[in-house]
Structure 1
Amino acid sequence: MHIVLHQPEIPQNTGNIGRTCVATGTSLHLIEPLGFRLGEKDLKRAGMDYWQHLDVTRYVDYQDFLEKHPGAKIWMATTKAKKCYTDVQFGMDDFIMFGKESAGIPEEILVDNEENCIRIPMGSDIRSLNLSNSVAIVLYEALRQNNFAGLEQQGELHRLHWKNEE
């Protein structure tokens, strides 16, 4: 899977998203301009020591991204979509794009890709969810649809034996 952030502005969100990408084996694609430098401490703090393991690619603009991924299936997460993210079928090689925190994906991009626009349902009195939360919601649905391929699905409790001595 691939997560695409179109001009992200807040380093903590991108750091959190990077950590989620590492945990899920997902590639992260950043379309410039970014609202921060990749070396910022807030980005590193949010991404913790996972950032060094992240498969991340930067693009100078949206056109550069498209040229490097011709024919790619790109889902566009937006509050302006008519379709819910649970109503589409995600493939393991799909790209899921999210826009910058203050404005989302530019309308001219959305208009050209309306059939691939998806939304997360929410109340009408809020503009949007937090970007890193939105990425996690949609990404985990896409992974669920693909049986969490490549991910560990079971954990194990380490049972401690406590002795009640009286």
Structure 2
Amino acid sequence: MNEKFILFFSYLSVEGDFLNLNIVMYQPEIPQNTGNIARTCVLTGAKLHLIKPLGFDISSKQVKRAGLDYWGELDLEVHESYEDFMKKYGHNKIYLATTHGGEHYDEVEFKEGDFIMFGRETCGVPEDVHNAHEGIRVPMIKTSTRSLNLSNTVAIIAYEALRQFGFPNMK
């Protein structure tokens, strides 16, 4: 299966008006995407989870540059493998955001504890991961372009989830 992205958004707990949003990238390959996503995480109050192996050194210049000076504010957790991540967080509802998903992302009613997963930029997720989760997608017209950029897709879905929760602690 050639899935495009894996990233998880999780709503683990609500404290006051603030909703904890967790974004998890499955074996990301492009450092600039990870940097842009890190910046989005900081500005939305999300925690970023990275599942190894990574296609780059997390301290690389490209990652740091794309995230600008936000890295000091980033809540980051790195997982040694998908299995390790699932042992810790697999009890939650997990949606797979994919170009082959069923429902549109805005048709999903996100709830506390949900995850949204996206795969590697070039080859998506393995078939067993794909088959284990309900698929959702961002609608696109059919062209020769395969899919949206990963960091753009993260922002689209993250802001839809935050919209559903009333943009907690955002002005």
TM-score between both structures, scaled by the size of structure 1: 0.86
Alpha-carbon distance in structure 2 between the residues aligned to 1:118 and 1:25: 23
Between structures 1 and 2, the one with greater strand share: 2
| 1:92 Cα deviation after fit | 4.4
- Pick from 51, 60, 77: which aligns with 1:31? 51
Alpha-carbon distance in structure 2 between the residues aligned to 1:8 and 1:15: 11
Structure 2 match to 1:19: 39
Structure 1 match to 2:147: 128
Alignment of 1:113-124 (within 5 A): 113=133, 116-124=134-142
RMSD: 1.2
| 1:124 Cα deviation after fit | 1.9
- Pick from 107, 124, 149: which aligns with 1:104? 124
Alignment of 1:55-134 (within 5 A): 55-113=75-133, 116-125=134-143, 126-134=145-153
> Which structure 2 segments of 5+ residues have no match?
1-20
> Which structure 1 segments of 5+ residues have no match?
153-166
Report % sequence identity: 53
Given residue 130 of structure 1, which amino acid in structure 2 is its aligned partner?
N
TM-score between both structures, scaled by the size of structure 2: 0.83
- Following TM superposition, where does structure 1 have runs of at least 4 consecutive aligned residues deviating by more than 3 angstroms? none
Aligned length: 150
Corresponding position: 1:7 with 2:27? yes
Structure with higher Rg: it is: 1
Could you tell me whether the CA contact under 8 Å between 1:92 and 1:146 is conserved in 2? no
